[in-house]
């Protein structure tokens, strides 16, 4: 029996084949690169890498409590639907805002010593604190945005 021998291609032939493949698929490659760049700019790739790097830890946490798993599933589904309505700049701005506010709240909120306001006079006294005034301003801005979003939703 005669064995068919395969001839090894030279490095130049391999390079020529690779370049031909690139040229034939240049539109698809450009589209893919555009999508990758957009995902990187929007922070999606960074978020995915965080999940991938901590995947085992995340899974263990999620499966400890079925209620947490269901809640995360709902949040992910809703988050994906919301993200589809945002452009890249909106996503970047939202990401920055969540990181800034979440980090600040995590460092500054101590709920162990929270005391009731105690009626209108207590609220009046609390309003003399500059941080309370700024926080109320943020809360009102969020309420205004929620009202605007609620108005645009079909009834």
The number of C-alpha atoms within 13 Å of 52 and in the hemisphere containing its C-beta is 6
Does 59 map to a domain?
no
Token pair belonging to 136: 């109320």
Domain containing residue 140: 118-150
pLDDT tens digits for the chain (155 residues)? 455 567 788 888 989 999 999 999 999 999 999 998 988 888 888 888 887 888 888 777 777 878 877 887 888 877 777 777 778 788 788 888 888 888 888 888 888 888 888 889 988 998 999 999 998 998 899 888 888 888 876 66
User: Cβ-count burial of 72 within 10 angstroms (0-12 exposed, 13-18 middle, 19+ buried)?
Assistant: middle
**Number of domains comprising the chain:** 1
Burial string for 83-98 (b: 16+ CB within 10 Å, else e) reads eeeeeeeebeeeeeee
Name the pTM for this structure: 0.42
In whole angstroms, give the CA distance from residue 16 to residue 23. 10
3-41 pLDDT per residue, tens = 556 778 888 898 999 999 999 999 999 999 999 898 888
Q: Mean pLDDT over all residues of the chain? A: 83
> 70 lies in a domain?
no
**Could you tell me if residue 132 is inside a domain?**
yes
């Amino acid at each position: 029996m005669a064995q068919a021998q395969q001839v090894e291609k030279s490095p130049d032939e391999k390079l020529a084949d690779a370049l031909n493949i690139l040229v034939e698929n240049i539109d698809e490659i450009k589209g893919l690169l555009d999508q990758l760049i957009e995902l990187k700019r929007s922070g999606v790739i960074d978020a995915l890498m965080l999940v991938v790097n901590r995947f085992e830890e995340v899974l263990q946490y999620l499966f400890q409590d079925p209620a947490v798993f269901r809640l995360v599933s709902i949040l992910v589904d809703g988050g994906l639907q919301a993200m589809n309505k945002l452009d890249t700049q909106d996503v970047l701005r939202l990401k920055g805002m969540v990181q800034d506010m979440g980090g600040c709240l995590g460092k500054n909120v101590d709920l162990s010593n929270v005391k009731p306001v105690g009626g209108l006079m207590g609220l009046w006294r609390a309003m003399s604190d500059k941080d309370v005034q700024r926080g109320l301003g943020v809360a009102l801005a969020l309420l205004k945005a929620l009202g605007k979003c609620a108005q645009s939703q079909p009834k």
